[in-house]
Structure 1
Amino acid sequence: MIESPGFLFTVMAFLLVIGPLVFVHEMGHYLVARWFGTRVEKFSIGFGREIVGWTDKRGTRWKVGWMPLGGYVQFKGDMNAASQPDPELAKLPEAERDGLFQFKPVWQRFLIILAGPMINLVFAFVLFMGLLGTYGQAQNPAVVTALQEGLPADEAGFELGDRVVAVDGRAVERFADLATYVSLRPGQEMAFDVVRDGMPVEIVATTLDVTEADRFGNEARIGRIGIYGTAIEMQPLGIAELPGAAMDQTVGGLEMIVVGLGQIVSGQRSIEELGGPLKIGQISGQAASLGLYAFLVFMAMISINLGFINLLPIPMLDGGHLVFYAAEAVRRKPIKPEAQEWAFRMGLAVLLGFMVMVTVIDLRSFDLW
């Protein structure tokens, strides 16, 4: 087991992950807002008291807050950092409404808010392209070269030389695809389409539900069936192959999140498996200590997480705003300010409760009690 890096190294690694990702997210909002002629009052990385800042020639205050757990873009006319509309704006004469976010067409407001989460997904896609083009991708085929006796694959009838071509109807080309699919689904029955001596064979096996520790001692529940492939062969991809492979990696990252959350909601996984900012900080340091490749892969996955979470339909998050704008487009009039106010309050309560819960889970994972 590798000893975890020191506190200062971990803090720096966490800031190097979260800082650029928050900047990228908020820059998505900012750029599309500027494209549509929307006036931006504040662009903040972090919350709370300003540590450093400056005001540009357009009147936008660029600043860094002392609490590095997010950021925001505040448009002209917003009541607060959550872009909650100011009801008093309705009294403004037409001549004074130019450039105010609340008076932009609903489709423009929708795209301005959507740009934040989407640029996080694009950022992950670009990172994966760079990694796949530089470090390469494991190309070993999904062929069984070894079986662990007594485990599900052995008991279900797998044989050496079997090539897995699909799992639950999903095509498989590389052994890494097979391993990822199986590991995400502990204790689940799966149908494997296999080619054996040129003939198709279908094998049904139920994955083991095991808890394994990584090199730092972090434990995770995974599925296992007990098959092994050839040695990993990393091969850099060509220009034509990069976009498709990077898209597969990005979609795969989203799938990991959706499957994991679905298992928690359905009770297949414990809520204790969630991680909050403290856990992200810890793993940031551990990933950085393993080298640039591990650190950038981790950064790409956190970017995907950030994009996904912000798309959840919770008021205070981007997804909540998108729901309001979608409803406005259908109703052809905005949601009443009173209803939005209550929604924002409930959303804030949900987010604060969630943050407290994951922080307690994080502290318990550190064996503080």
Structure 2
Amino acid sequence: MSFTAILDILLGALAILLVFGLAVFVHEFGHMFFALIRGVGVESFAIGMGPKITSWKWRGIEFSLRWIPAGGFVKLKGMMPEELEEPAVAESEAAAGDLASGHHEDKELSESAYDDLLALRDEGLVTKLLVFGGGVFMNFVTAIVAAALLGFVGTKAQLFPIELEQVPEASLLAELGVEPGDRIVAFDGAPTPYSLDLQQAVIEKTGGPMGVGEIYHRFLAGVLPYVEPPDEPTTTVLTAMELTVERGGENRRLALEGITNKQLDRLLDEVTLNMRIPPIVGELIPNYPADRAGIKRGDRIVAIDGEPIESFSDMTRLIAARPGVETRTTVEREGEQLELTVIPRRDVLKDKPTGQIGVFNGAPDTRVLRETPFRAITLAPVSTMQAFLGMLNLNVQFFKRATAKDISQNLGGPIAIAVMTFQRAMGGISELLDWFIMLNLLLMFFNLLPLPVLDGGFIVLSLIEAVIRRPVPTKILAPIYTVFVIFFITLMVAISGLDIWNWFISPLM
């Protein structure tokens, strides 16, 4: 193994510890911070579960790092009710993964599960909501800060030359006279060597990028029913423009007359959907056939079993037709061609066997896009909220139609998070920051589920107690919390087993 490979592994491992550890830390810090400002005592604060690696005391609070990297917890000071007075208070679970400890030596399982609720038994509703919701609030704030930093540092945009692989008959492209194989080289006189340049030229032609105020207006109109959306310039007819395409070594100018803003947006979508994507490897799924065969990020796949490859769709089509078959794959790397043998993994798509090798498309070049500090900071909250709402919608749509097989293949736990963090770390700081944002939002989503032992469950129970004006008896809570603690521990073990199967065993089959 080369020194560079060893260094990559070490940096990836460090990224896993920092990214996952920081997301858990800010979550637990949120619980502790709001407990302290509301006058609720805190006994201990831990990152990780299980036996201690090290611990220290500061201002009466015991801080500790623990061996199992599956969450963390905050232990609050509080009086137990009389019927639970005998057992000693142990750690309480306050975050995703808090149930993996198994470290409640003198207590029943159910008692440990709702320690926080018992500690806040005599507190008001505001205090309960702040303490129980403090973790997800801090994850959201952290995601906003990371989004602002990402906007300032810049994101890598993939650059694709605009060559049309196909032109659907019922399309604006066809009406303009664009043909398959044409390269779009200019829009209204502005050079467009890449699709990103065409997108920016279209934005400038239709009035320039949206201001911060309009972005917030559109966002609020999308989530609040009483906010009127801004006027859409769908019927605004633009001045005459032209699209320059290269065909057979000659440039041809195609007139765009009487076109509206909406039609121009549609034209841009048609170009994006129908342009040729180069057969360049962007990312690889670890331990899948391509990774095991030695294919690397940035490789250009030039032939499959001797058949030339012109686009990523060509490669996908040929690989899909070879499930479980040894496939001679020619790749170009740093100016040299290499012959590799890949055996596509056998999968089933629409009841038909299909081959997969675990690669995602890349681009021949990238460009860093940065925002001004003002726009980066002011747009971070709305971009973060949009990402969270998009993630909610994606999960809802997935579980509406998902089969048991879909869930088993897409559900991930700590191992999957570690693998994906390692992948993003190899892509650079912008990709790692983007993943850190999503990880914080995932913790928010999971912890807000209204289930016992999760933050969302504690919040719902606090609201119920506020309505009925008395605590729910512990004899009712105990069996409920016992069932859910066992359920979540079982779920964590099952998901970890699925992670090992999906990422390390299944790809080998």
- Structure 1 counterpart of 2:92: 81
Question: Residues 167-206 of structure 1: CA distance to partner in whole angstroms, max 9, x if unpaired?
Answer: xxxxx97xxx9xxxxxxxxxxxxxxx79872264597x9x
Match of 1:253, as an amino acid?
A
- 2:486 maps to which of 344, 349, 352: 349
3-state SS in 2 of match to 1:241: helix
1:48 offset after TM fit, Å?
Answer: 0.5
3-state SS in 2 of match to 1:357: helix
Match of 2:19, as an amino acid?
V
1:327 offset after TM fit, Å?
Answer: 0.8
- Structure 2 counterpart of 1:333: 470
CA contact (8 A) 1:79 1:85 kept: no
**Partners of 1:6 and 1:126 in 2: how far apart?**
27
CA contact (8 A) 2:92 2:114 kept: no
3-state SS in 1 of match to 2:130: helix
Instruction: Describe how 1:207-222 pairs up with structure 2 within 5 A.
Output: 214-217=282-285
The unaligned stretches of length 5 or more in structure 2 are 79-88, 94-111, 177-186, 188-197, 203-208, 216-233, 237-257, 275-279, 289-312, 314-364
CA contact (8 A) 1:125 1:246 kept: yes
3-state SS in 2 of match to 1:288: helix
If the length of structure 2 is used for normalisation, what is the TM-score?
0.54
**Partners of 2:426 and 2:13 in 1: how far apart?**
12
1:39 and 2:44 aligned:
no
Match of 2:466, as an amino acid?
A
3-state SS in 1 of match to 2:505: coil
Instruction: Describe how 1:81-160 pairs up with structure 2 within 5 A.
Output: 81-82=92-93, 84-85=113-114, 101-135=120-154, 147-149=164-166, 154=168, 157-159=171-173
Match of 1:121, as an amino acid?
F
Instruction: Describe how 1:259-270 pairs up with structure 2 within 5 A.
Output: 259-268=393-402, 270=406
- Structure 2 counterpart of 1:97: none
- Structure 2 counterpart of 1:94: none
CA contact (8 A) 1:4 1:216 kept: no
3-state SS in 2 of match to 1:38: coil
- Structure 2 counterpart of 1:11: 13
Larger Rg over CA atoms:
2
Moved more, 277-286 or 266-275: 266-275
Question: Residues 68-123 of structure 1: CA distance to partner in whole angstroms, max 9, x if unpaired?
Answer: 11001010135541374569x8xxxxxxxxxx533221220111110101110110
Moved more, 5-14 or 41-50: 5-14
CA contact (8 A) 1:13 1:281 kept: no
- Structure 2 counterpart of 1:249: 383
Name the CA shift for 1:145/1:331 in 2 (closer, same or farther; >3 Å).
farther
**Partners of 2:37 and 2:383 in 1: how far apart?**
30
1:312 and 2:449 aligned:
yes
Q: What percent identity do the matched residue pairs reach?
A: 27
CA contact (8 A) 2:47 2:71 kept: yes
1:32 offset after TM fit, Å?
Answer: 0.8
If the length of structure 1 is used for normalisation, what is the TM-score?
0.72
- 1:197 maps to which of 259, 283, 293: 259
Question: Residues 288-320 of structure 1: CA distance to partner in whole angstroms, max 9, x if unpaired?
Answer: 122222212211211111122111112111111
3-state SS in 2 of match to 1:360: helix
- Structure 1 counterpart of 2:106: none
- Structure 1 counterpart of 2:420: 283
**Partners of 1:276 and 1:64 in 2: how far apart?**
20
Q: Name the count of aligned residue pairs.
A: 315
The unaligned stretches of length 5 or more in structure 1 are 90-99, 166-171, 178-192, 225-230
CA contact (8 A) 1:136 1:237 kept: no
**Partners of 2:500 and 2:123 in 1: how far apart?**
44
1:265 offset after TM fit, Å?
Answer: 1.4
**Partners of 2:73 and 2:90 in 1: how far apart?**
13
CA contact (8 A) 1:315 1:346 kept: no
- 1:237 maps to which of 371, 393, 402: 371
CA contact (8 A) 1:10 1:281 kept: no
Name the CA shift for 1:136/1:368 in 2 (closer, same or farther; >3 Å).
closer
Instruction: Describe how 1:59-74 pairs up with structure 2 within 5 A.
Output: 59-74=60-75
Alpha-carbon RMSD across the aligned residues, in angstroms, is: 4.0
Question: Residues 13-56 of structure 1: CA distance to partner in whole angstroms, max 9, x if unpaired?
Answer: 21111111111111111111110111101101011111100122
- 2:23 maps to which of 17, 21, 28: 21
Name the CA shift for 1:7/1:197 in 2 (closer, same or farther; >3 Å).
same
3-state SS in 1 of match to 2:456: helix
**Partners of 2:262 and 2:14 in 1: how far apart?**
52
- Structure 2 counterpart of 1:228: none
CA contact (8 A) 2:8 2:426 kept: no
Name the CA shift for 1:256/1:147 in 2 (closer, same or farther; >3 Å).
farther
Name the CA shift for 1:71/1:155 in 2 (closer, same or farther; >3 Å).
farther
Name the CA shift for 1:158/1:252 in 2 (closer, same or farther; >3 Å).
farther
Name the CA shift for 1:198/1:257 in 2 (closer, same or farther; >3 Å).
closer
Name the CA shift for 1:298/1:277 in 2 (closer, same or farther; >3 Å).
same
CA contact (8 A) 1:42 1:60 kept: yes
**Partners of 1:350 and 1:85 in 2: how far apart?**
15
1:275 offset after TM fit, Å?
Answer: 1.9
1:254 offset after TM fit, Å?
Answer: 1.3
Name the CA shift for 1:16/1:194 in 2 (closer, same or farther; >3 Å).
farther
1:256 offset after TM fit, Å?
Answer: 3.8
**Partners of 1:39 and 1:243 in 2: how far apart?**
34
CA contact (8 A) 1:18 1:69 kept: no
